[in-house]
Chains A and B, each alone.
Chain A
Amino acid sequence: MSLSTFLTLGLSLIIALSVPIRAIAQDGEYVFILAAHDSPYWNTLGEGVKDAAKAKGITPVIYEAQNGRDTEGELNICLTAILRKPKIIVMGSLNASIGIQCFKQAISKGIIVADVDANLSVEEAAKAGIPLAFSIGSDNYLAGEEAANYVISSTKNPALNILIIEGAAGSVPSHKRVAGFTTKIKQLLPRANIVASISADWDRLKAMDITLDVLQRQANLDVIYAANDTMALGAAEAVRNLARTTQVKIIGVDGTADARKAIMDGRLTASVAQLPYLMGMRSVELAIDAVTTHKTGVSEITMTPVLTRDLIETNNEPALQYVR
C-alpha cells in the first residue's frame, strides 16, 4: 500500500471516527430547520426553541442551513430530515418555494409540516395542496411600516432627507422591510427625499462606508433606515465619527442585544424588534399542539414593537420579556 493511499485511509478514519454526533434521536421526533447558522436572529430563535422544548420535556432535532441564501442547501437538509421520519417538521424556509417543494414530500410520508418565520403562509401552502399545521412569524413589510411610523411621529420636518441601507440584493426580508418603509414614507410624508437606497449586504463595514460616502455629499441627512441592526450599527459608527449623532436619527430592524445597548448609549435611535425568541418558543408550543390534535391552518403574526430608549427604560411593554 502506497503512503498516500495509507494516508487516505487514515484521514478518512480520523474524520469518520471524530464526528460528534449531536443527536441520533429516535423516530417520532420534532425537527426544526432554521434558515441560517450565522445570524443572531436565527440563533435567538433557536434559543427560544431549545428553552421551550426543555420546559415541555421534548428533545428537538435542530438543523441549521449554511447561510441565509443557500436555498438548495436548505432543501437538501429538509429532504434528508424526512428520512428520520419525524412527527413534525417545522421549517424557517428561505422562501415559499423551498417550503412547498419539501413539504409535498413530507406530507406524502405522513409527516406534519409547519412554518416558522412566516415565509410560507397557510394560504400559500393550501394553494399548493399542503395542509400547513401553522405558520408563525413577524411581518417584514409591517416592520418597515413601523419604522416609518416612528420616523413620522418623531419629527416636525416634512422634508426629511433619508438614507435607506438595504440588505443583500435578492433577499426577500430586506425587500419587504424596505418596501414597507418606503411606501409608508411616500404616503404620509410626500415631501421627504430619499437620497439613496443602497445595499450593504447585511454587512456592518459596508453600511459604514455607504453612510460616510452619502454624508460627504448630503451633509443635511436627517434619517438613516437600515434593514437590520448590524447595518444600522455600522451607520451609527460613521455618524459618530463625523460627530453628527445629534443630527441624524438611525433606525434598525431586529432589536438585537447590540442594538439595545447602542440605543441606551445614544448611538442608535430605535430598532424595530422582531422577537425571534418568542417565535421559537411559540413554534414549539404550536408543534406539540399540532402533533396532539392534528389541527391545521393556525396563523400567528408576532409583534414588532419599536424599541427606543424611553421604552426600554420604562419597561412597561409586555413584549420586552421576549427581547433577547
Chain B
Amino acid sequence: MSARLFLQNPDRLYVTQCLLFLMVLGVFFSLASPHFFSLENINNILTASAVIGLIAIGATFVIGSGGIDLSSAAVMALCGTVCAWILQTAGFSPLLAFPIAIAIGGVCGLLTGFFINITRAPSFIVSLGMMSVARAVAYIVSDGVPIYGLPDSVVISNQVLFIGLSVSVVVLIIAIILAWIILTKTQLGTHALILGDNAYAAETMGLPIQKLRLKIFTLAGIFSGMAGIIFMMRTNSGDPSAGQSYELMAITAVILGGANLFGGRATITGTVLGVLCLGVLQNGLNLLAVSTYYQILFVGLVLLGAAFLSRVGYRR
C-alpha cells in the first residue's frame, strides 16, 4: 500500500500526525536534557499520564458517539474520595473498596446517560450538572478536607513495579487493551461511532439509541472510577478537589489523537498518542525547568495546532 493510499483513511492520517508530533517532541527533549531518554523518566511519563489517560479513554467513547462528558474529572474525584473514606473510616479491604469505587463511577455515568435520555438536553449541559453533583458529594463525604493516610497495603502496592512499570501504568495498559477491543471488535463500539456520525440514521437503522447512550456513559464513568483509584493511590489521599480541569485535558488529548469533536470518528490509538503528546510535553518542559507561564502557552498552542490540522484534514 502506498503512503498516499495509507493516509487517505482519516483515522490513519491523524494517528500518523500525532505520532510524528510525539517523535519530534521526543527527539527534541532527548537532545535538550540528558535525563529525558531514560527508563526511569519514561516510566515517569507513563505514570503521570495514567490518570488523564484513563479519563481520556472513557471520553473517546463519549466523543465518538457525539457527546461530551464534563463530569469525568469530578466523578474521578468522587470515586477516589469515597474509596479513601471506605478504606480509612470503614476499614474495608481494598479488594472490596476498589470495585465499589469503580461501581460508583459507573452509576454516575449511568445517571448522566439517563438524564440525557429523559431530558433530551445536550450532553454537556447534563454532564455539567453531574459535575457539580459529584464534586459536591465528594466534599460532603470528606467534610471538605482531603482524606490522608491510606492503609499501608494500598500505599505499598502502588510502589510495586512490574517489569519496571508502576501499577498505574499496568492498569493503564490493561484499560487501553480493553477499550481497544470494545471500540473495534464489539457492537457497542461500532454502534457508538454510528450514533456519533449520524444520530438520525442510527435511529432509522433501529439502533437502541437510549440503551446505547446509557452503556457509553456508564463505560466512561467506570474509566473515571479507575482513574480515581489511581489518583488516590498515587497521592495517598482522597482529595475532593482533585483533578480540576482534567476533563478538558482529556478532551484535548482525544481531539489531538484525531477524534471528531462532533462524533463519528475516534480511535483508542489516537487517544493514547494524544495523551502521550501532552505527557511528554509536560514532562520535557518540567525537566528543562521552563516557566509555568510558557508551559500553559505551549499546551494552548498544541491545541490550536490540533484544531488547525483537524480542519485541514477535514477538507481533504
Name A residues whose Cβ lies closer than 8 Å to a Cβ of B: 2-5, 7-9, 11-13, 15-17, 19-25, 37, 61-67, 69-72, 75-77, 79-81, 83-84, 95-98, 100-101, 168-172, 175
Pairwise interchain contact A63-B289, C-beta atoms closer than 8 A = yes
Name the 8 nearest CB pairs between A and B, nearest first: A12-B24, A170-B241, A16-B28, A37-B292, A83-B35, A97-B236, A4-B312, A8-B17
- Which of B57-65, B186-194, B218-226, B298-306 faces chain A? B298-306
On whether A69 and B244 interact (CB within 8 A), knowing A19-B294, A21-B288, A64-B291, the answer reads yes
Ordered by A's residue number, 18 sampled pairs between the chains whose C-beta atoms are within 8 Å are A3-B312, A5-B16, A5-B17, A7-B308, A12-B21, A13-B24, A16-B28, A20-B291, A22-B290, A24-B33, A72-B242, A75-B235, A79-B44, A79-B48, A80-B44, A83-B35, A83-B287, A175-B144
B162 interface residue (CB < 8 Å to A) = no
Pairwise interchain contact A84-B287, C-beta atoms closer than 8 A = yes
Pairwise interchain contact A97-B17, C-beta atoms closer than 8 A = no
* CB of B171 to closest CB in A, whole Å: 15
Pairwise interchain contact B25-A98, C-beta atoms closer than 8 A = no
CA distance A95 to B84 in the complex (A): 16
Known: A69-B244, A97-B235. 13 other contacts (CB 8 A): A4-B17, A5-B16, A7-B312, A15-B298, A19-B32, A21-B289, A63-B286, A64-B291, A72-B51, A72-B242, A76-B282, A101-B234, A169-B240
B237 interface residue (CB < 8 Å to A) = yes
Contact indicator per residue, chain B 242-271, by CB within 8 Å of chain A (1) or not (0): 111000000000000000000000000000
On whether A96 and B148 interact (CB within 8 A), knowing A3-B312, A5-B20, A101-B236, the answer reads yes
Pairwise interchain contact A64-B292, C-beta atoms closer than 8 A = yes
Chain A neighbourhood of B287, CB < 8 A: 80, 83-84
Name B residues whose Cβ lies closer than 8 Å to a Cβ of A: 4, 7, 13, 16-18, 20-21, 24-25, 28, 32-33, 35, 38, 40-41, 44, 47-48, 51, 139, 142, 144-146, 148-149, 231, 234-237, 239-244, 282-283, 285-296, 298, 301-302, 305, 308-309, 312-313, 316
On whether A170 and B25 interact (CB within 8 A), knowing A7-B309, A11-B305, A95-B146, the answer reads no
Chain A neighbourhood of B25, CB < 8 A: 12, 16
Chain B neighbourhood of A101, CB < 8 A: 234-236
Pairwise interchain contact A66-B142, C-beta atoms closer than 8 A = no
Pairwise interchain contact B17-A100, C-beta atoms closer than 8 A = no
* CB of B15 to closest CB in A, whole Å: 11
Option from B32, B38, B48 in Cβ contact (under 8 Å) with A83:
B38
Chain B neighbourhood of A65, CB < 8 A: 292
Pairwise interchain contact B17-A72, C-beta atoms closer than 8 A = no
Pairwise interchain contact B239-A9, C-beta atoms closer than 8 A = no
> Chain B residue with minimal CB distance to A13?
B24
CA distance A47 to B28 in the complex (A): 31
CA distance A170 to B80 in the complex (A): 14
Pairwise interchain contact A4-B309, C-beta atoms closer than 8 A = yes
CA distance A311 to B312 in the complex (A): 63
CA distance A84 to B232 in the complex (A): 26
CA distance A175 to B142 in the complex (A): 13
Chain A neighbourhood of B242, CB < 8 A: 69, 71-72
